[in-house]
């Protein structure tokens, strides 16, 4: 079976069919390049977002404070800077050993930072510097021997919604031994982290 030679031109078969010329392919129209964002505008936006986030965190969660005095030596020194968690006690209970910040009962304009020693309903007495809690001696590793004192206090029961506070530097601390247990409503933060000076940075326990 032989094949007929092909014409050099394209043909269409069928009655009335017409050949149409095909225009040459056109190059796509170039799209305008996307507009580059202004670097200053981005910087300002990021700054505003960061500032807003910082305000929210400080207002509702963490607040930086500065220690004044030495009643919490050896862990906290005068002028140490730390963060307190203002939200913690909305979701968890205050526990013995927590370091807390509260309004001074005799002058709410002042703030004190002390350690929680006894909870509501606890029986506490102090015998020549040794703390007895619910009939058992309280072992306080956070009070080195050089910071102890020999003061005594007769047994008392901590009232409801109140907490007995003491400083770790017992020989100089003004605390619940003088102004009594602190009402829950005066406690507004849990000390959680020292951030300055860098040598003392770390979680508070």
Residue 93 burial (C-beta neighbours within 10 Å; 0-12, 13-18, 19+): exposed
Specify whether 71 is catalytic.
yes
Q: 44: which DSSP letter?
A: H
Residue of 36, 114, 141, 171 marked active site: 114
CA-closest candidate to residue 114, choices 102, 131, 128: 102
Question: What is the signed CA dihedral for 113, 114, 118, 124, rounded to 10 degrees?
Answer: -130
155 burial level (CB within 10 Å; 0-12, 13-18, 19+): exposed
114 catalytic? Reply is: yes
CB atoms under 10 Å from CB of 182, counted, come to: 24
H/E stretch holding 109: strand 107-118
**Residue of 2, 36, 50, 71 marked active site:** 71
Cα radius of gyration rounded to whole Å, the chain: 38
Distance CA 47, CA 197 (A): 26
3-state SS, residue 192: strand
For the chain, the residue count is 205
Catalytic residue positions, numbered: 71, 114
């Amino acid at each position: 079976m032989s094949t007929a030679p092909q014409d050099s031109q394209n043909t269409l078969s069928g009655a009335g069919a017409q050949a149409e010329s095909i225009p040459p392919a056109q190059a796509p129209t170039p799209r305008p390049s996307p507009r580059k964002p202004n670097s200053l505008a981005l910087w300002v936006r990021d700054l505003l977002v960061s500032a807003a986030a910082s305000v929210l965190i400080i207002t509702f969660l963490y607040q930086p404070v500065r220690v004044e005095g030495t009643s919490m030596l050896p862990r906290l020194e005068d002028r140490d800077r730390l963060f307190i968690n203002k939200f913690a006690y909305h979701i968890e209970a205050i526990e013995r050993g927590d370091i807390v910040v509260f309004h001074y009962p005799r002058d709410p304009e002042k703030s004190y930072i002390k350690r929680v020693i006894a909870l509501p309903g606890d029986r506490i007495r102090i015998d020549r510097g040794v703390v007895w809690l619910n009939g058992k001696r309280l072992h306080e590793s956070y009070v080195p021997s050089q910071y102890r004192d020999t003061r005594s206090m007769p047994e008392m029961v901590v009232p409801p919604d109140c907490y007995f506070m003491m400083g770790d530097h017992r020989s100089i601390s003004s605390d619940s031994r003088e102004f009594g247990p602190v009402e829950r409503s005066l406690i507004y933060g849990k000390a959680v982290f020292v951030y300055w000076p860098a040598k003392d940075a770390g979680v508070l326990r």
